[in-house]
Amino acid sequence: MRYVDEYRDPELAHGLTAEIRSLVAPGETVRVMEVCGGHTHAIYRHGLEELLPPEVELVHGPGCPVCVIPMGRVDDAIALAETGGLTLATFGDMLRVPGGRGSLLEAKARGADVRMVYSPLDALTLAGKEPGRHVAFLAIGFETTAPATAVTLLRARAEAVPNFSVFCNHVLIEPPLRAILETPGLRVDAFIGPGHVSSVIGTDAYRFICEEYRRPVVVSAFEPVDLLQSIAMILRQRAEGRCEVENQYTRVVRQEGNERALAAIAKTMEPREDFEWRGLGALPRSGLRIRDAFAAFDAERLFALPDARIEDPKACRCGDVLTGQLRPWECGVFGTACTPERPLGTCMVSSEGACAAFFSYGRLRRPREEASVGA
């Protein structure tokens, strides 16, 4: 297959749907967590849940990088943006993420110099064009985006750029998965592994899920046929009594990952003692910080940041959505006090957030349901 249409072929999709139906017993429930926000987006966008038998239930996971950023880190970014002579460069998604003091967009409206960029290298270029200002890049994301930040840090050091830094909020995928798997009473039977993260870390990184927690994993690509095939692969494992990490995304993902990308991360960043996650609390060694050798480019060392830990609003159930215990439409403020135009929680901001995806594609098709998918 070479073209995207082939991955959306209705005949292939219906064939896989029939196979999925044949692999479940009437009345049983198989709960499959798609870890990645990109998968959540594709599932709602293409209406894949409507194709599945009622025995297969999809549960959303923590893999949306914008969604997991806690309010305190947003406030730190706002404090940074309000520093005199400083420009904060950020991905567009982060502009509307609510913190305790509003969002970066609101800070920009108050006069802070916040600019949208498409990559950390864009931010470095900006620093070169405006030598009179300091440019700090707000780095977020899992292992997927960390290599680009790493390469930018290497270039900044090689070129001795004096007015550039990174506010590092990169996170790792394994700790939140372990936290979810340790949740008492969690009812998730298998995982659709993230595609983009896996292109960097490889498929071996998920072996602990099979070996320690006895749940099958299938790393998947993002088109409808890919996702249906991944679900069929999971069900086939169950039917055959296997519990393995399998790779559906063979056109991109390798078992060992991308060694050069991993080396760039390891050279420039190291795990923090702990990092606060929205909905999961502080998880040990789950976030990355900049290594001492690159201290001259570390915004957290160059500027005094509040480093506050702020409680989410009481009505916000993003934590439960991110851990698969609640569906978007089950949150009491979904579509009322929380909409993509005025998000209360992070899951309503990025297109990869489960609430934003369901608001955009799913809410008119499917009635609200009372039952929780959690324990």
Residue 348 Cβ vs ligand SF4, minimum distance, rounded to whole Å: 4
Residue 39 Cβ vs ligand SF4, minimum distance, rounded to whole Å: 17
Please, which residue, 36 or 231, has the CB nearer to ligand SF4? 36
Residue 34 Cβ vs ligand SF4, minimum distance, rounded to whole Å: 17
What residues make contact with ligand SF4 under the rule CB under 6 A?
316-318, 321, 328, 331, 333-334, 338, 344-345, 347-348, 355
- SS (HEC) of 115-133: EECCCHHHHHHHHHHCCCC
Rounded CA-CA distance 370/97 in Å is 28
Please, which residue, 222 or 334, has the CB nearer to ligand SF4? 334
Could you tell me if 16 and 228 are in contact, meaning their C-beta atoms sit under 8 angstroms apart? yes
Q: Which residues of 249-266 are buried (b: 16+ CB within 10 A; e: fewer)?
A: beeebeeebbeebbebbe
CA atoms within 13 A on the CB side of 155: 16
Please, which residue, 218 or 331, has the CB nearer to ligand SF4? 331
Please, which residue, 94 or 235, has the CB nearer to ligand SF4? 94
Q: Which amino acid is at 160?
A: A
Please, which residue, 222 or 359, has the CB nearer to ligand SF4? 359
Please, which residue, 20 or 354, has the CB nearer to ligand SF4? 354
Residue 331 Cβ vs ligand SF4, minimum distance, rounded to whole Å: 3
Within the chain, residue ranges assigned H as helices are 10-22, 37-45, 48-51, 71-81, 104-109, 120-129, 146-158, 174-181, 195-201, 207-213, 224-239, 259-268, 299-302, 318-322, 354-357
Residue 359 Cβ vs ligand SF4, minimum distance, rounded to whole Å: 8
Structure tokens at 27: 């009345």
Please, which residue, 67 or 88, has the CB nearer to ligand SF4? 67
Could you tell me if 185 and 43 are in contact, meaning their C-beta atoms sit under 8 angstroms apart? no
Residue 3 Cβ vs ligand SF4, minimum distance, rounded to whole Å: 35
Distance of CA 199 to the CA centre of its chain: 14
Cβ atoms within 10 Å of 318's Cβ, excluding its own: 29
Residue 122 Cβ vs ligand SF4, minimum distance, rounded to whole Å: 28
Comparing C-alpha atoms, which of 336, 340, 342 is closest to residue 368?
A: 336
Residue 97 Cβ vs ligand SF4, minimum distance, rounded to whole Å: 11
Please, which residue, 99 or 224, has the CB nearer to ligand SF4? 99
Which residue's beta carbon is nearest to the bound ligand SF4?
Answer: 345
Comparing C-alpha atoms, which of 40, 167, 41, 172 is closest to residue 104?
A: 167
